[in-house]
Amino acid sequence: MTMLAADPVTDPAEENAAARRRSALVAGLVVCLAALGVVMLLSIGVGARNLSPATVWDALVHGRGGEAELIVRHLRVPRTAAGLLVGAALGLAGALMQALTRNPLADPGLLGVNAGAACAVVCAIAFLRITQPGAYVWFALLGAGVATVAVYLLGSGRGAASPVRLVLAGTAITAVLTGVISAVVLTNSIAFNGFRSWTVGSLQNVTASVVVQVVPFLAVGIVCALASGSALNAMALGDQLATALGARMARIRFLGIVTTTLLCGAATAVAGPITFVGLVVPHTVRAFTGPDNRWILPYSMVVGAILVLTSDVIGRVVLWPSELEVSVVTAVIGAPVFIQIVRRRRLAQL
């Protein structure tokens, strides 16, 4: 996948500038990772129950049973892990999706991931009477997978899937699935209730077992996504090159879609839909990194995780002792920042 040499730079002055730029980007990534570490500590330390840092540390390291251990080990640690994984996965999935379709309106949900997952969850509640959120995970994953396959098959027809057709196919399948969801939830209040809570993405009720279940999917997805930067760059060069490369482009697109589905499907299965991250993080990141996907991908991953974890911590504090769902906070605090960036920066287009 990484065959294409990136920028054939010859001029020494330009080479210098490129090197400076590269070290700036590396430094930026290190800063982001440090920020991520801080947010993770906050996420373990802050919650509805006031615990001193010493108590938290004690409960985390030594256990010793009791209230504090229950809160830190059973509630906050799984939640932090989930936030980290979900944010990273959604950021990556969004970056991939936008690179693949070259459409700024594309979010991972466009492939039918959210609609497929929601449809499966709603049907599980309505027809199989499943009410335990732990059991939603597999339905959500299955629904996301089936919907994406349908979108891909419809979008590719006989030849390779073109971005426009993929987008339209995603729209059509999502519409049909949304129709099914609405029909089920409007004739079954129990399913409606499950649906409306599932549809506001949240980390509140994530348990350790749920996180462990999706880790394999996410791990594969993250590795594949990070490895695809150069290939995506080649794709962005446009049609002449794409035709020259022929079948390889089709394969890259296919792999990209599988990866997106793994990432977004697993993240959605854990937390429910948090669409803002996949849509907005890559746009934001692009304003700093420029169009190079080898940088956009890792940045999107780290910034996505920072955004989700920060939002979750804020959500625990603002309505204390209740909590505000992470998907709401993400959008509300993320949007002003995003719009500010869009207004200030010269935009690197897709």
Partner 1 sequence: MSNLSSPILQLSFLGTIRLRVVRRSLLVVTLIVLATAALFVVQLLTGTFPIAVSRVWATLTGHGTAVEEFVVYTLRLPRALTAVLAGAALGGSGAVYQSVTRNPLGSPDIIGFTYGASFGAVLSIVVLGSSDVAVTISALAGGLGVALLVYLLSMRGGVQGYRLILVGIGISSVLAALVSYLLLKANIIDAQEAYVWLTGSLNGSTWSDVWIGLVGLAVLGPVLVGLGPGLRLAEMGDQAALGLGVHVGRNRLCALGFGAALCAIAVVCAGPITFISLAAPQIARRLTGTPTVRVIPSMAVGALLLLGSDALAQKLFPQSQLPVGITTLALGGGYLAWLIAREGRSRIG
Partner 2 sequence: MTPPLPDQLRLGRRGLLSAMAGGAAAFAVQGCTNSALDDPSSTTSGSGASSGGASFPVTVEHRFGQTTIPAEPQRILALGQTDCDPLIALGITPIAIGSFAEKWYTPVHPWNEHGFGGAKPEEVSFVEIEFEKLAALQPDLITMVSGGISQGDYKTLSKIAPVVGPPKGYQDSAVPYGPHTVLIGQTVGREEEAKQIVADVDAKYDAVRQAHPEWDGLTTIHAESFTGAFDVLGRNAPRSTFLTSVGLALSPELDKLAGTQYSKEISAEQLDLVGDLDVVIWMTDPGAIADLQSNPVVSRLKVVEDGRSVWTTYVKTDEFMWSMDWNTVLSGPYAIDLGVPLLEDALAGKSPISAGND
Asked if 37 touches partner 1 (CB under 8 A), the answer is no
Contact (Cβ atoms closer than 8 angstroms) between residue 301 and residue 26: no
User: Binding string, 80-119, against partner 1, x = CB under 8 A?
Assistant: ----------------------xxxx--------------
Distance in Å, CB of 227 to partner 2, minimum: 36
Asked if 189 touches partner 2 (CB under 8 A), the answer is yes
Residue of 16, 52, 182, 197 that binds partner 2 (CB under 8 A): 197
User: Binding string, 25-64, against partner 2, x = CB under 8 A?
Assistant: ----------------------xxx---------------
Burial profile 63-85: b = 16 or more Cβ within 10 angstroms, e = fewer: eeeeebbebbbebbbbbbbbbbb
- Give, in order, the Cα–Cα distances in Å from 37 to each of 34, 46, 61, 326: 5, 14, 18, 19
Contact (Cβ atoms closer than 8 angstroms) between residue 284 and residue 341: yes
Asked if 52 touches partner 1 (CB under 8 A), the answer is no
Asked if 75 touches partner 2 (CB under 8 A), the answer is yes
Q: Where are the alpha helices (DSSP H) in 133-162?
A: 133-156
Write the single-letter amino acid at 235. M
Residue of 190, 212, 219, 237 that binds partner 2 (CB under 8 A): 190
Beta carbon nearer to partner 2, 71 or 93: 71
Query: Can you tell me which residue has the tokens 């009791």?
Result: 66
Query: Can you tell me which residue has the tokens 């962005």?
Result: 236
78: enclosing H helix or E strand = helix 77-101
167 binds, among partner 2, partner 1, none (CB under 5 to 8 A by kind): partner 1
Please give the Cα distance from 51 to 45 (Å, whole number): 7
286: enclosing H helix or E strand = helix 275-289
Cα–Cα nearest to 93, from 272, 224, 230, 244? 224
Which residues from 76-135 bind partner 2, rule CB under 8 A? 129, 131-133
Which residues from 220-279 bind partner 1, rule CB under 8 A? 275-276, 279
Which of these ranges, 34-42, 142-150, 200-208, 285-293, lies near partner 2 under the rule CB under 8 A? 200-208
Asked if 342 touches partner 1 (CB under 8 A), the answer is yes
52 binds, among partner 1, partner 2, none (CB under 5 to 8 A by kind): none
Contact (Cβ atoms closer than 8 angstroms) between residue 201 and residue 325: yes
Sign of CA dihedral 277, 280, 283, 285: negative
Asked if 193 touches partner 2 (CB under 8 A), the answer is yes
Write the single-letter amino acid at 245. L
Residue of 76, 283, 294, 316 that binds partner 1 (CB under 8 A): 283
Residues near partner 2 (CB under 8 A) are 47-49, 67, 70-71, 74-75, 129, 131-133, 186-190, 193-194, 196-198, 204-205, 207, 316, 321-323, 325
